Chain A
Amino acid sequence: MIWKQTIGAASAGAMVASGIMAGAMVLTVATASAAPPIRFGVQAPITGPYADEGQGIEKAVRLLVEQQNAKGGLLGRQIEVTVCDDEGKPSQAAICARQLVNAKVVAVIGSYTSGAALAAEPIYAAANVLQTSDGTSNKLSEQGFKTWFGNAAPNSAEAEFTANYLVKVRGFKRIAVLTDHSSFATGLADEVVKNIDAVHGTVADKAFVNADSQNFTPVLTQLKSLNPDVLYYSGYFSDGGLVRAQMQQLGMDAVFVGGDANQNVAFAKIAGAAALGSVIVNVPAPQDLPYPAAKQFVADYKTKYGALPPSVFTLTNADGLRAILQAIESTKGTEPAALEDFLHHVKDFQGLTGTFAWNEHGERTGSPFVAFEVQADGGYKILYPEPAK
């Protein structure tokens, strides 16, 4: 399903079902204002397994654009948004990219998945259209395209933050690393081990659990015999909560630190009383972001759509758009080369998800990660970095 919608136009009329009309039809509905509008594209999985996230990106973009237009638009021109549903599929993403390029957009927000962003990337680069996506695959920045601006921190950022937190901030001397066999968790665990070595920490052991097997006491017993002062678990919450509970069952008094996949309300439920004091490293949930601008955005989003943003990636994509809006205002134009230059050199951009910048490869520098502690009421308290006042 592909459609284009213009802010201010009757939305139902502008919706075009795909199928027969797909490639050829992109409607443009003229707005009332005299100056030609500035066009932004959204490439996101509006349908399919990531529909929730894709719709979040679209909603965030529409919210920010509506607010900007209400303030008189950008450089005195109204902003129009064209949305293309890539279904999270690379094949559909390439079609979307051509459609959005043909629609003469200045920049594209999205897509949600690295695969879809990667398929569209060369098409935007060839057409000199800026692309900002939460895709975190290293391939996205390795292509060397000037038009690429990743708005989520790369995969390596979490491991770097974690190692620094464990070794430097908390001063743990013997770190046990535990992972399941998924490529996500083993990748994260390997990176954490590498980063711990880099900051001269000591990994007592790296061990594995079989996800969903529930029977983690054998490996935890073995780890307990090594006397670690902290256990880092890189897998998912359903197993993480059980790992935490079984640590307590075995009388293992090491601190539990979990990777981002442990952040789920079920973690504390499964871990029970043992959840208290567990530490989880992740980008904070949208409503937990400590920055005033983020709180305002989340409140506006909730007022407009009646629900919270689906994930923090809604906000990182919003940050991508906010940075491009600022670039257009600062450079007083939509010349791609000037915008790219501005974005590559912007210092300390005050994002909704923390302060960040972009390096020459378009990778986000400045991680939004925080370490938070599970509280008695199941809530989270940010331990590090200290929340900005």
Chain B
Amino acid sequence: MDCRVKLGNDANEAIQFDRESLSFFDKKHPTLAGKVMGTFIQQVFNGLTVGGIYALIALGYTMVYGVMRLINFAHGDLCILGAFIGLTLLTGAAGSGHSGAVLLLCAFVLAVVVIAIAGVVLELVAYRPLRKADRLSAVVSALGASLLIENSIMLIWGPDVHVFPADLLPAITWTVAGANITFVQVMIILASVVLMTALYFFIHHTRFGTAIRATAIDQETAKLMGIKVNQVILTVFVIGPALGAIGGLFVGIYYREAYFTMGWTYGLYAFIAAILGGIGSIPGAMVGGVLLGLFNAFAAGYISSSWQDAITFALLIAILLVRPTGLMGEPDAGKV
């Protein structure tokens, strides 16, 4: 493995240099097996990066569904709102002299705080009044909230594609067997793993986590046990959107762009990831997100780029036919 720092326009020369001298594979005459391996490793990392992002966003869907039996369709838009809030801080502070890492940390903190507050407001305004109403009303309310957020982003930031500043993170690229793995990719994958592990421990090994799980199983009984259900639901609306905001900001940092309709795209993929893993199941959302990213990469890379989504979703249908509640969903109501 070698490591190098790309510096502006010399990037291409740097790649060339590495390929000829540093990598342990002979890049000028790579063996067929070496090339196949390099391509495979590249696709795994391609899939893991977006998979991690899908998983972070999917957690918000699955947690809300777990405690409320509601698909929060506004979740994807909240995540992208997080990206826009981070973007505003990053572009506003550009040239302020602070290092990229400090700015990014500030952007993440700001996005997480604002989106967590937005999540709470969403619950109080759009969902709590409908708690006892028909589920369909809540779903319609969710769709309305989604459109409201999406259009607000368009009105505040405009309909154009917004570009994130470059040079926030070191442009380090590792070359492994001909596969290029960037610092941003590694950061996203590691951060996703850490966040998801932390969430898992929070849910399964703390008293509050137990309260969330109890509420998910039966709200009425949980209430009788002295659990403050409203507080639990508010917590879920803090954690889900906060993780989503991080996912949304990762999208922005990885692709360096954001636009107002992106919430729908990522929301849809993450929703599918949540269903694939078993909606209501937190480990399911993690597994579903990662698998969806990998499916997509392998479908495009090894079967057909034109049928990429069709193949991915055919696989999804096949899995759901065998396991209708998703990979890790349980057939009964005991979820989260």
Contact = CB atoms under 8 A, between A and B. Distances in A.
Nearest to B16: A253
B163 A218 contact: no
A266 B160 contact: yes
Contacts of B261: 212
Contacts of B50: 215
Q: Is the interface of B mostly helix, strand, loop or mixed?
A: helix
A248 B11 contact: yes
Report the interface size class on chain B: 35 or more
Nearest to A248: B11
Given A212-B261, A213-B265, A242-B257, A222 B166 contact: no
A270 B161 contact: yes
Contacts of B43: 218, 221
A34 to B, nearest CB: 53
B179 to A, nearest CB: 8
Report the interface size class on chain A: 20 to 34
Interface in B221-271: 251, 255-257, 259, 261-262, 265
A272 B299 CA distance: 28
Q: Is the interface of A mostly helix, strand, loop or mixed?
A: helix
Contacts of A238: 161, 257, 259
Contacts, number: 100
Interface in A301-320: none
Interface stretch (B70-78, B97-105, B135-143, B301-309): B301-309
B47 interface: yes
A269 interface: yes
Interface stretch (A18-26, A98-106, A202-210, A292-300): A202-210
B8 interface: yes
A277 to B, nearest CB: 9
Given A212-B265, A250-B42, A253-B12, A266 B308 contact: no
> Which of A215, A241, A270 has the largest number of chain B CB atoms within 10 A?
A215
A241 B259 CA distance: 14
A297 B173 CA distance: 49
A212 B257 CA distance: 11
A272 B46 CA distance: 20
B161 A276 contact: no
B257 A207 contact: no
A248 B184 CA distance: 14
Interface in A205-264: 207-210, 212-215, 217-219, 221-222, 224-225, 238, 241-242, 245, 248-251, 253
Contacts of B299: 218
A219 B296 CA distance: 10
Interface string A174-185: 000000010000
Kindly list the 6 A-B residue pairs having the minimum CB-CB distance in the complex, ordered from nearest. A218-B300, A208-B306, A218-B297, A217-B46, A207-B305, A219-B305
Given A208-B305, A218-B297, A218-B299, 4 more contacts: A181-B306, A221-B39, A221-B297, A225-B39
Interface of A: 181, 207-210, 212-215, 217-219, 221-222, 224-225, 238, 241-242, 245, 248-251, 253, 266, 269-270, 272-274, 276, 376
Interface of B: 8-9, 11-12, 15-16, 19, 35-36, 38-39, 42-43, 46-47, 49-50, 160-161, 163, 166, 173, 175, 180, 182, 251, 255-257, 259, 261-262, 265, 296-302, 305-306, 308-309
11 contacts: A207-B306, A210-B308, A215-B297, A218-B299, A218-B305, A238-B259, A249-B180, A251-B175, A266-B160, A269-B163, A273-B9
